[in-house]
Chains A and B, each alone.
Chain A
Amino acid sequence: MTKKVKSLAEQALFASAIFILFLLLFESRIVVPAWVQSIGRMHPLFLHFPIVILLLAMAMELFRFNAANSTNEFYRDFLTNLLLVGLLSAGITVIMGLFLSKEDGYSGQVLQWHKWTGVLLFYLSCFIYWSRTKSWYKAPLAKSTAILTVFLLVGAGHYGAVLTHGDDFISGPIMKQTEAEPVALDQAMVYKDVIKPIFEQKCVSCHNPEKLKGQLSMATEEALLKGGKSGKLFKPGDPKASLLLQRIHLSEEDKKHMPPKGKTQLTTDEMTLLALWVKGRPDFNEKVIDLPPSDSLRQLASSRFKSADPVQEIYRFAAADEEAVQKLNNDYRTIAPLAKGSPALAVNLYNQSTYSAEKLQELSDIKSQIVSLNLNKLPVKDADLKTISQFENLQRLDLNFTDVTGQNLKELARLPHLKSLTLSGTKVTYAHLQNQIRDFKSLQTVALWETKLTPSEIQQLQKAHKNITFIAGFKDDGSNPLTLNPPEIKNPSMVFDQSLALALHHPIKGVQIRYTTDGTEPDSIHSPVFNNKTVLTDRTTIKAKAYKDGWYGSSVATFDFFKSAYKPDSIILLQPLNRVHQADGPKSFFDRKLGTFNANSPAWANNWTGVRNNDMVVVSEFKKPITASSVALRIMIEEATGIFPPATVEVWGGTSPDQMKLLSTVKPKMPAKGDEHSLTNVTCTFKPQTVACLKVVAKPCTLPEWHGGKGKPGLVLVDEMFIN
């Protein structure tokens, strides 16, 4: 450092010493302008320089008088300069700090300690700087002042840290925060255990006697009553007029919203609790249970006592031997701890055929640890309840659809902790329950659906035992009949050669299916009842409906059955099919699989063969000549998409391919504009003929004038042919 720079720096140091003195003297009269506030706020950033530099300088100062160092020119100059720079930065830091302390939210004892240790540190080091070269400034004095400076440095730094981070910032993670002992509901105080914890979690970190944001402290009852800069916190009995509630209900974007944006917000429950508390005239010495049971504050508050974070039920028994548990675990019996580290075990048994009473007896090794046991749908007998009654810590027992009759339910009454018992689908009766249920000590719910108990008996039980919930479940009382779904068909194909046993089916037990074969709608009186004996021998349309007591009859289901007496030995297409309507090639015509509407369904693409730009010419040959009198084509008609019947269908027949004559020509009826889509047969009949070869020619029509695609050929779709 040149001399000039050094003297400039020294002057600056002197000036800041004076300025600091001035600030200290006239502190109360100073108003800090905004731009200076920003400078003040750099205090926490800047303070690191003086700490480090002064520490280093003081360390060097300690050893300045050592023989080796005292003659070292570099050591001397470096130390002087270091001290000067450290002092300057300390001065700036103190000035910034004094500005910052003028801001809202800093007050209290810690601030005073921080301020005065800081100031003292600054002046002490100034003193060192200016006196250290004097002849009376000897080694002992230098060492003691250096050490004192370090102490002040540490002190000021510590108090500053407490101001920013809070009291136990560093020790916090080590000192395991002692979880507040859960308060029992009958001990809980409205203010101390409900309201105060909310303040402590969400408010007090800023509104405390040290930080006093908005000149408000919420740490003590007196301070709460006193309020802050903007007035009293609440108007007893009137939450809407209370500042506390107003602030927390402002929009989160609002500057005055509390807690400020970015801090942990109050939950809805907490806001409601505060409002209810203020409404009920804040009282600091009221117990939760002193409030009437219907009081909303009491209800909301009491739920907090049991439901804070995952409340682990505390089990007072020891864990079972891990190996024993492992040994008892098998494919049909699962034993697992409720949670990591929990001694409580849940046991589930499955599979009727492997169950026996021993499977329960084997559990005696872990009888104290079982808290839940699931035996649903297993053949558990009454005698097994005795085994179960040894599981002293059992809380939940599932016996739905077991063979338990209820005779000795009292065995289970010996279980002091049993809370939930399910008996749905068992043979228990009202008498059993009425006699034995009062012996149960902690029972809370009993499931009784699908038992012999009538709804009114369950109601009587409920009346007699108010602390237990009896679950009755759904029982159809016939007041709300539903419509049955229509019958289904179980025959694998709708096409048959000589005869077919009709297989109508309904998934619901006890349903009566009535049907007609003449195309009329079946009714519940006259139409024959389906009895699995109906045999079809010819093309038939079955209409069927399902009926059952207590249900509305179903809608009509229509099934078309087709007879196709002969299946050709070979099928040849003489002209190609459309590229996108190939289905399964020529085989498709006699595969007994029918197509449907809805082009997205696989049954569409797999079954419909089609032509548009050429005729469909199918030649069928038979090794053994047959006697035929009709050929039918099943076609689709969908006017809207241009799927039309063929203009003409010709059937040719003969004993060999080159000796065929025309047997029949049919011109199918064309659809009219707007007709619904339909599936129909084009049937060509002729005098009975003995043929070995049949040729079917279907010519696409020309779309009519009214159609959008007029003049173009219509698409012909055929899924099956029937030869009779």
Chain B
Amino acid sequence: MEKEILEHGFNFNRRRFLSRLSLGLGSAALGSLMIPDLFGGNSTDEEGFTPGIPHFAPKAKRVIYLFQNGAPSQQELFDYKPKLREMLGQEIPPSVRGNQRLTGMTANQSSFPLVGSFVDFKQYGQSRAWVSDLFPYTAKIVDDLCIVKSMYTEAINHDPALTFLQTGSQQGNRPSMGAWLSYGLGNENKNLPNFTVLLSRGVGNGQGVYSKLWSNGFLDSIHQGVQFSKGEDPVLYLRDPEGMDRHARRDMLDNLAKLNDMAYQEFGDPEITAKVKQYEMAYRMQTAVPEVMDLSKEPDDIVKLYGPDCLVPGTYAANCLLARKLSENGVRFVQLYHQGWDQHGNLPFEIAKQAKDVDQASAALVTDLKQRGLLDETLVIWGGEFGRTSYTQGKLTADNYGRDHHPRCFTIWMAGGGIKPGMVYGETDELGYNIAQNPVHVHDFQATVLHQLGLNHEKLIFKHLGRRYRLTDVSGKVVRDIIA
């Protein structure tokens, strides 16, 4: 009791006193205005939200986001446009192009000749979805996928677009989607971080990936993404120093906890207990992380499924396999970034290699989750930050062309986690330049992801610097048509 009083004193600083005071006076005056549903029953205000407990029963418990960094060209992968081939070399009609801003890379181009995909498409599965020949493995699992062809974004360059998709704002410093989910859903496994990040790099033209993308922003730092890297120390600073064994570490932590407890008794600062908890989690991670990172026990079928690269640390395939292991172990959000999709030029050559890099492992991940009975509660997302233009960037030759950034439409796919399988949602026009049906804004996409995890995007709120923040900022609506 004495301690609680002490703690209370600590928590009750001047600022809080003043803000409480004003609220107290205000609430006396405003009465029920402060509690909108006072007479309606069923209070659903933001104070009713408990971090770590979803608003409603979720369909998906975990997310694996296979981010294709650099913006893969939808025209060569999913969005089949035979008309573009017919109109090869013709100027894009001004009525189609409209007054869209262009990047500095093509704005000064004197002509904008259309170019179709160099690679053929076929229809697959019961959904008869079109998939290009660059994705033979993905083609086999189309009946597990919901392909959304009508995504659009507001940013036209990589970093803002990437930041926008991940944090809901182009400027950064906001919590990433994984951090929001960690805040909203809490830990499933207390021995691993809730939000992990895996990086890999393809052969194509790459774009930067910065740690601000997995930032916790203004949320508590326990929600920050933890990068797992290849090599001997997958998580930095986790290993005991040379000469210190597990017992010595345990003794040290126990004694340290005693000292900390003394300090806590004296000052009652809650930060002290938080710190002790973090030490303990790091201690448990010391055994949990090596277990997760160990790929040597994976059966041969798994190696065949993901492809031989899956045992080479740092490759996309290895990261997909690792993502499955982390997710299976209760990590809420596994974020992969695969660099190298920025085909401004030399597209046919680069994209083929880039596609080969990710095709088998991406499809394998979906199959693998399914065969463990985990796909229904794991949401897998595949996609980049925007699309690419229907016209060529640079010179159009018989066998070579490039495509510039295009925010007006791009394709992603989602699988599992209560999303309708075997579905193609949204359409672009016949030149693949504008959306013809069912546009999905980035905030709509984010709202849908949160919804699948049992979170109402309008109520997953954190108050910071006097403003209530959401992942979806002030817009976004759940795309109900793609929910199973």
User: Does A351 make an interface contact (CB < 8 A)?
Assistant: yes
Q: Which residues of chain A come closer than 8 Å to B480, judged between CB atoms? A: 267
Give residues 162-182 of A contacting B (CB, 8 Å). 173-174, 176
Per-position contact with B for A302-317: 1 when CB-CB < 8 Å, else 0? 0000010010110000
A392 CB to closest chain B CB (Å) equals: 19
User: Does B127 make an interface contact (CB < 8 A)?
Assistant: no
Establish whether residues A485 and B309, one from each chain, have CB atoms under 8 Å apart when the complex forms.
yes
B349 CB to closest chain A CB (Å) equals: 17
Q: Which residues of chain B come closer than 8 Å to A310, judged between CB atoms? A: 56-57, 451, 454
Per-position contact with B for A547-571: 1 when CB-CB < 8 Å, else 0? 0001100000000000000000000
A18 CB to closest chain B CB (Å) equals: 48
Per-position contact with B for A449-460: 1 when CB-CB < 8 Å, else 0? 110000000000
Q: Which of B38-46, B98-106, B462-470 participates in binding chain A?
A: B38-46
Closest chain A residue to B300, Cβ basis = A476
Establish whether residues A376 and B53, one from each chain, have CB atoms under 8 Å apart when the complex forms.
no
Closest chain B residue to A476, Cβ basis = B304
User: Does B243 make an interface contact (CB < 8 A)?
Assistant: no
User: Does A484 make an interface contact (CB < 8 A)?
Assistant: yes
Q: Taking A398-B373, A450-B299 as contacts, is the C-beta distance between A350 and B330 under 8 angstroms? A: yes
Q: Which residues of chain A come closer than 8 Å to B39, judged between CB atoms? A: 174
Establish whether residues B187 and A339, one from each chain, have CB atoms under 8 Å apart when the complex forms.
no
CA distance A508 to B302 in the complex (A): 11
B40 CB to closest chain A CB (Å) equals: 5
Closest chain B residue to A484, Cβ basis = B308
Establish whether residues B56 and A339, one from each chain, have CB atoms under 8 Å apart when the complex forms.
yes
Partner of B481, one of A268, A338, A344: A268
CA distance A176 to B41 in the complex (A): 8
Establish whether residues A344 and B57, one from each chain, have CB atoms under 8 Å apart when the complex forms.
yes
Which of A268, A346, A449 has most B Cβ within 10 Å? A449
User: Does B191 make an interface contact (CB < 8 A)?
Assistant: yes
Closest chain B residue to A315, Cβ basis = B57
Q: Taking A173-B40, A269-B481 as contacts, is the C-beta distance between A339 and B57 under 8 angstroms? A: yes
Give residues 480-514 of A contacting B (CB, 8 Å). 482-485, 488, 507-510
B31 CB to closest chain A CB (Å) equals: 15
CA distance A450 to B368 in the complex (A): 11
User: Does B303 make an interface contact (CB < 8 A)?
Assistant: yes
Q: Taking A268-B438, A268-B481, A348-B188 as contacts, is the C-beta distance between A339 and B54 under 8 angstroms? A: yes
Give residues 170-200 of B contacting A (CB, 8 Å). 186-191
User: Does A331 make an interface contact (CB < 8 A)?
Assistant: yes
Establish whether residues A331 and B190, one from each chain, have CB atoms under 8 Å apart when the complex forms.
yes
Q: Which residues of chain A come closer than 8 Å to B122, judged between CB atoms? A: none
CA distance A344 to B57 in the complex (A): 9
User: Does B21 make an interface contact (CB < 8 A)?
Assistant: no
Establish whether residues B373 and A471, one from each chain, have CB atoms under 8 Å apart when the complex forms.
yes
User: Does B284 make an interface contact (CB < 8 A)?
Assistant: yes
User: Does B26 make an interface contact (CB < 8 A)?
Assistant: no
User: Does B311 make an interface contact (CB < 8 A)?
Assistant: yes
Please, how many residues of chain A have a CB less than 8 angstroms from a CB on the other chain? 55
User: Does A422 make an interface contact (CB < 8 A)?
Assistant: yes
Per-position contact with B for A433-447: 1 when CB-CB < 8 Å, else 0? 000000000000101
B274 CB to closest chain A CB (Å) equals: 16
Closest chain A residue to B451, Cβ basis = A310
Closest chain B residue to A306, Cβ basis = B484
Q: Taking A334-B190, A340-B49 as contacts, is the C-beta distance between A485 and B312 under 8 angstroms? A: yes
Closest chain B residue to A353, Cβ basis = B287
Closest chain A residue to B418, Cβ basis = A307
Partner of A400, one of B57, B187, B372: B372
Establish whether residues B308 and A483, one from each chain, have CB atoms under 8 Å apart when the complex forms.
yes
Q: Which residues of chain A come closer than 8 Å to B296, judged between CB atoms? A: 509
Q: Which residues of chain B come closer than 8 Å to A376, judged between CB atoms? A: 328, 372
Partner of A336, one of B52, B301, B309, B374: B52
User: Does A472 make an interface contact (CB < 8 A)?
Assistant: yes
B257 CB to closest chain A CB (Å) equals: 14
User: Does A108 make an interface contact (CB < 8 A)?
Assistant: no
Establish whether residues B50 and A340, one from each chain, have CB atoms under 8 Å apart when the complex forms.
yes
Q: Which residues of chain A come closer than 8 Å to B48, judged between CB atoms? A: 340
Establish whether residues A424 and B371, one from each chain, have CB atoms under 8 Å apart when the complex forms.
yes
CA distance A310 to B457 in the complex (A): 13
Closest chain A residue to B425, Cβ basis = A268
Per-position contact with B for A137-177: 1 when CB-CB < 8 Å, else 0? 00000000000000000000000000000000000011010
CA distance A339 to B300 in the complex (A): 39
Give residues 106-124 of B contacting A (CB, 8 Å). none
Establish whether residues A447 and B371, one from each chain, have CB atoms under 8 Å apart when the complex forms.
yes
Which of B190, B309, B328 has most A Cβ within 10 Å? B190
Q: Which residues of chain A come closer than 8 Å to B217, judged between CB atoms? A: none
Q: Which residues of chain B come closer than 8 Å to A475, judged between CB atoms? A: 301
Q: Which residues of chain B come closer than 8 Å to A269, judged between CB atoms? A: 481
User: Does B305 make an interface contact (CB < 8 A)?
Assistant: yes
CA distance A269 to B438 in the complex (A): 12
Q: Which residues of chain B come closer than 8 Å to A447, judged between CB atoms? A: 371-373
Establish whether residues A449 and B311, one from each chain, have CB atoms under 8 Å apart when the complex forms.
no
Partner of B56, one of A312, A334, A471: A312
Q: Which residues of chain A come closer than 8 Å to B189, judged between CB atoms? A: 334, 348, 350
User: Does B483 make an interface contact (CB < 8 A)?
Assistant: yes
Establish whether residues B308 and A508, one from each chain, have CB atoms under 8 Å apart when the complex forms.
yes
User: Does B288 make an interface contact (CB < 8 A)?
Assistant: yes
Establish whether residues B371 and A471, one from each chain, have CB atoms under 8 Å apart when the complex forms.
yes
Partner of B53, one of A336, A449, A488, A507: A336
User: Does A686 make an interface contact (CB < 8 A)?
Assistant: no
Q: Taking A350-B330, A424-B373, A472-B371 as contacts, is the C-beta distance between A509 and B300 under 8 angstroms? A: yes
Establish whether residues A338 and B57, one from each chain, have CB atoms under 8 Å apart when the complex forms.
yes
Per-position contact with A for B370-412: 1 when CB-CB < 8 Å, else 0? 1111101000000000000000000000000000000000000
B268 CB to closest chain A CB (Å) equals: 22
Establish whether residues B191 and A424, one from each chain, have CB atoms under 8 Å apart when the complex forms.
no
User: Does B329 make an interface contact (CB < 8 A)?
Assistant: yes
Identify 6 residue pairs between A and B in the complex whose beta-carbon atoms are under 8 Å apart, listed by A's number: A337-B53, A339-B53, A450-B299, A473-B372, A483-B308, A507-B308
Could you list 11 further interchain pairs (A-B, Cβ under 8 angstroms) beyond the known A350-B191, A474-B367? A174-B39, A331-B191, A334-B187, A334-B190, A338-B54, A339-B58, A400-B373, A424-B372, A473-B371, A482-B307, A508-B311
Nearest 7 CB-CB pairings of A with B: A473-B371, A507-B311, A422-B373, A447-B373, A449-B371, A476-B304, A310-B56
Q: Interface residues, chain A, CB within 8 Å of chain B?
A: 173-174, 176, 267-269, 307, 310, 312-313, 331-332, 334, 336-340, 342, 344, 346, 348, 350-351, 353, 374, 376-377, 398, 400, 420-422, 424, 445, 447, 449-450, 471-476, 482-485, 488, 507-510, 550-551
